[in-house]
Structure 1
Amino acid sequence: MPKTINPFLVTDQSKLGKFHIKAMLITGMGVLSDGYGLSSVAVILPIILTSLGGEVTGITTSFLSAAPLMGMIVGSLLFGYLGNSGRKKYYGIDVTLMTIATLLSAVSTNIWFLIITRFFFGIGAGADYVLSPTILGEHCNAKDRGKLMSAGFGLSWTMGAIFAVLVAMACAALGLSSELTWRITLGVGALPAASVIYLRRDLPETPRFLARVQGNTQEAAEVVAVETNQNTAKLNVKQDYQSVRYYLQREKAAIIKASLLWFLADIAGYSTELYGPSLIAKGLGLSSTSFSLLTHVLFSIPSAILAVFLIDTLGRNKLQALGAFLAGFALIGFSMLGTSAGVMIQFIMFGAFSFFDNLGPGSVVQAGITGIEIASTKARSIVQAITVTAGRCGAILTAFVFPSLFKYFGETASMWFLIAILFILTIASIVLLPEAKNRSLEDCAQEVIGQEEPLIKTL
């Protein structure tokens, strides 16, 4: 095999700096908006259905939950293809779509109009799931790429979910009507997306795309200088003239593995995220807002923060496998103890599931890291789109299957279904997930540049 070298050594060996933090915050806002959007509907689902019609376990509810996920498939595939002609070129369109669709959803007059607006919200979110991780990943240094992406996407999603709960609780505390509450809660979701529309257009194109895809080494060198806070005279990286199809064929096995991992992770994660506040909370005698707030603040946030510190030391493979395994055992405890152990103990067991699921899959494959690290620059946005689509397929499946399982077979059977998925995910993570900690993107993807001379000259 040809020698694989690192054409962006100066970027990968740079220290964590202001540029990296800024890029993380700007890219993470889209995922925060997605976390807000999906969680807000889950929290206020009962009052939406009271206002517009339907039942929690009905088919319209499944469509309402699945609509943004279906839109994400469209958005990810479309912008995955477009992103191959420029990451920055289409950046900002994603959050603009999310902003407009969110505002329209807040003025819905019937359930199907709401479903349609949620679908278009999903198109923007799907675009963001491709563009944001690709851009952040290509800007990161090797040592901190895991923690930056885990914080930017895994932690940001949870922060968005908490924001949604707080808005809903604030509306209730102010004594607003149920209808006004759900409309305001949905509408406020436009704020985080709208806040970064301008900033995203100002974020520079990635040097990897500029040099390897466009052959613009001069501009790439200028961006590297900004990333690393040093003067750069010349970046000696050859343009890649291979076809995208060549890389998709070469990386086919890795793409299938990453897609399967995200598919399984979303089945387990979205089952409880979409229906926990309405179905599981009811069994515990808690309101949807209290259940969601307590779960995220006490368990999801601490685990997301812990993941930021572990992902570049323990590694992606071990962190995800350990998280999925312990999440499965926590659900066993939740299911077997039942209400006989008391509401507090049962809630703690469910919280433990949320903690470990977010620590592992939620901070690794669901944070969009894997698709970025397995793909060559020329095909990276398309590979990311494929893995995102696989994850959304798992989430869509759970949107339709989980409420039916709950309705016809009860909570215990539903939990054992998720337990089985989590243990399959544990084994799959050990066997299929490549370890990428502290490795350059080029090394992870075995992207051969065919260049042996010093790659960068500094003034």
Structure 2
Amino acid sequence: MSSGVETGRITTDIPARLDRLPWARWHWLVVIGLGTVWILDGLEVTIVGSMSAALQEEKTGLGLSSFDVGLAGAVYVAGACVGALFFGQLTDRFGRKKLFLLTLAVYTVATVLTAFSMNPMWYFFCRFLTGAGIGGEYAAINSAIDELIPARYRGRVDVAINGSFWVGAAAGSLLTIPLLDPTVINPEWGWRLAFGLGAILAVGILVVRRNVPESPRWLFIHGREEESERIVSEIEGTVREETGRDLPSVSDTLTIRQRKSIGIGLIARTVFTLYPKRTILCFSLFVGQAFLYNAFFFTYGDTLGTFMGVEQVGWYIAVFAASNFLGALMLSPLFDSLGRVKMIAGTYILSGVLLGFTGFILGDLNAVTLTMMGAIIFFFASAGASAAYLTASEVFPMETRALCIAFFYAIGTAVGGISGPLLFGALIENASASKDITQIALGYFIGAALMVAGGVAEVVLGVKAEGQSLESIAQPLTAEESDHASGSPRPATTTA
């Protein structure tokens, strides 16, 4: 390997020891400390969607137009893309823990600054910074979770955690009901307080997160095997105490050449040359879910208010959000039992077909029936979309994990997440002028086609990763070189 400084060659059983652990309260600490970031993201997106009318007011808001509301969504997503790429490579280089503390701090500061917005430009800038913090979180958190959770639970945990976005979405939508009620609070301050409350939640998460350890897998590859061994021994002791039973011994080991850092050039070559099919797969999954969600959800509140006369959209968004979370929670065990390929392909194709059907009947829907259709569609789509992050996290080598998540999130979201809100914002503005809601259907049809395409890609290119260790799904780059150096090359499980 040409990048990084070699610090030694070791044989370790740490991955096998982590994967053989039974579920214990310690794992809930990881879930709560790390997984709650999606609640923050859901809170952010929903607050903006629910407050679109308040932000459009000249006197008490910021005087935003419908296009500006869509633009704010696009700016937030653009910040998330930049943040994911910037913090993603730092996560692979400096460790998971340093970055998931830093990115949460960026989010918190940016959210507080948003509450003090005095004009649209300040608001857009703060939305960009907030998105950057959230984007960085995706890379750092998904990496850490997958490297700490046992293999047999990884699918359901990842899907359910990513689905917790909708807990924040429901909370955000309900929170805006009293905050935007002029009889309860001054309209000039209600939307500002909503952003401030998001920052308070972030501080609480930061307190819990400080107790989550660095990834032992990252540590032993980067020449810190003693610290890695200490952390795993402490985890094993805690799990023994919590479960009241001894842990079985392990025999599987991994030999690697340790490196202080892994060059981005090597990472790029790995993604595009060793795993080209997996690259195409992840791109397809991320583009489909990003367009579907960002296009529909960023402008859902504006659609209800503009065309259906809904003044308090929070109740409708809460129902929609609850369906999303229940879908991810209830379907998540099937990703470990039925398998990744069947579940990802099924949820993507079904939700795409249902969205296309909704586009055809859009002119006949009202606020209640549109919400009902959205709830049915996204019950399935939420589980599939969550599995896109799971796929990017587990099908590439450990040294590249955070940056691969960031790369596919950024590229997929740039295509679907920035264009989606901009397109829907323009469609709503044009449809509002002609008072014809069916003009929005074009966005539904595009989203439906992209979701179906993502499902087909999963059928053709999907990886059966359920129950397998991360190292068997995609062998570490350092392990491959170690084996070649010893004269006994051992290829990765698959090069798909």
Q: Check whether TM > 0.5.
A: yes
How many angstroms apart in 2 are the aligned matches of 1:120 and 1:341?
A: 37
| Contact 1:134/1:380, CA 8 A, preserved across alignment | yes
Residues 332 and 127 (structure 1 numbering): CA distance in 2 closer, same or farther, change over 3 Å? closer
How many angstroms apart in 1 are the aligned matches of 2:419 and 2:359?
A: 22
**Aligned equivalent of 1:371, options 381, 386, 392:** 392
Aligned counterpart, 1:249: 269
Counterpart amino acid of residue 336 in structure 2: D
Structure 1 residue 215: Cα displacement:
2.4
Cα deviation per residue 1:6-34 (whole Å; 9 max; x = unaligned)?
A: 86212112211222111111111222111
Deviates more, 1:111-120 or 1:376-385: 376-385
How many angstroms apart in 1 are the aligned matches of 2:453 and 2:363?
A: 27
Deviates more, 1:181-190 or 1:327-336: 327-336
Aligned counterpart, 2:319: 294
Counterpart amino acid of residue 361 in structure 2: L
Aligned counterpart, 1:422: 451
Cα deviation per residue 1:402-434 (whole Å; 9 max; x = unaligned)?
A: 222344471222322222222222212222332
| Contact 1:281/1:291, CA 8 A, preserved across alignment | no
Aligned counterpart, 1:55: 65
Structure 1 unaligned residues grouped into runs of 5+: 453-459
| Contact 2:89/2:403, CA 8 A, preserved across alignment | yes
**Aligned equivalent of 1:240, options 254, 257, 274:** 257
| Contact 1:221/1:233, CA 8 A, preserved across alignment | no
Aligned counterpart, 2:217: 208
Over aligned residue pairs, what C-alpha RMSD do you find? 2.6
Q: Structure 1-normalised TM-score?
A: 0.88
Aligned counterpart, 2:227: 219
Structure 1 residue 115: Cα displacement:
0.7
**Aligned equivalent of 1:164, options 165, 172, 176:** 172
Aligned counterpart, 2:407: 386
| Contact 2:88/2:402, CA 8 A, preserved across alignment | yes
Residues 384 and 356 (structure 1 numbering): CA distance in 2 closer, same or farther, change over 3 Å? same
Say whether residues 1:321 and 2:321 are aligned partners: no
| Contact 2:347/2:383, CA 8 A, preserved across alignment | yes
Residues 62 and 339 (structure 1 numbering): CA distance in 2 closer, same or farther, change over 3 Å? closer
Cα deviation per residue 1:379-421 (whole Å; 9 max; x = unaligned)?
A: 2222122112123212111121222234447122232222222
| Contact 2:115/2:192, CA 8 A, preserved across alignment | yes
Structure 1 residue 168: Cα displacement:
0.5
**Aligned equivalent of 2:131, options 117, 122, 143:** 122
Q: How does 1:26-425 map to 2 (within 5 A)?
A: 26-50=33-57, 51-56=61-66, 58=67, 60-84=68-92, 85-154=94-163, 156-172=164-180, 175-212=184-221, 214-228=222-236, 229=239, 237-241=254-258, 243-244=262-263, 245-252=265-272, 253=276, 254-280=278-304, 282-286=306-310, 287-297=312-322, 299-340=323-364, 344-361=368-385, 363-365=386-388, 368-393=389-414, 394-408=416-430, 410-425=439-454
How many angstroms apart in 2 are the aligned matches of 1:356 and 1:283?
A: 26
Structure 1 residue 233: Cα displacement:
12
Aligned counterpart, 2:461: 432
The alignment partner of 1:360 has SS state of helix
| Contact 2:53/2:305, CA 8 A, preserved across alignment | no
Aligned counterpart, 2:27: 20
Structure 1 residue 282: Cα displacement:
4.2
Cα deviation per residue 1:245-276 (whole Å; 9 max; x = unaligned)?
A: 33431332123431332122101111111011
Counterpart amino acid of residue 148 in structure 1: V
| Contact 2:340/2:465, CA 8 A, preserved across alignment | yes
How many angstroms apart in 2 are the aligned matches of 1:237 and 1:217?
A: 13
Residues 8 and 178 (structure 1 numbering): CA distance in 2 closer, same or farther, change over 3 Å? same
Identity of aligned residues (%): 22
Q: Structure 2-normalised TM-score?
A: 0.82
Residues 354 and 283 (structure 1 numbering): CA distance in 2 closer, same or farther, change over 3 Å? farther
Counterpart amino acid of residue 371 in structure 1: A
How many angstroms apart in 1 are the aligned matches of 2:332 and 2:298?
A: 25
Structure 1 residue 165: Cα displacement:
0.9
Structure 1 residue 341: Cα displacement:
6.4
Structure 2 unaligned residues grouped into runs of 5+: 1-11, 241-246, 432-438, 487-496
Paired residues in the alignment total 440
How many angstroms apart in 2 are the aligned matches of 1:403 and 1:428?
A: 29
Aligned counterpart, 2:474: 445
The alignment partner of 2:209 has SS state of helix
How many angstroms apart in 2 are the aligned matches of 1:374 and 1:360?
A: 16
How many angstroms apart in 1 are the aligned matches of 2:99 and 2:359?
A: 46
The alignment partner of 1:352 has SS state of helix
Counterpart amino acid of residue 248 in structure 1: A
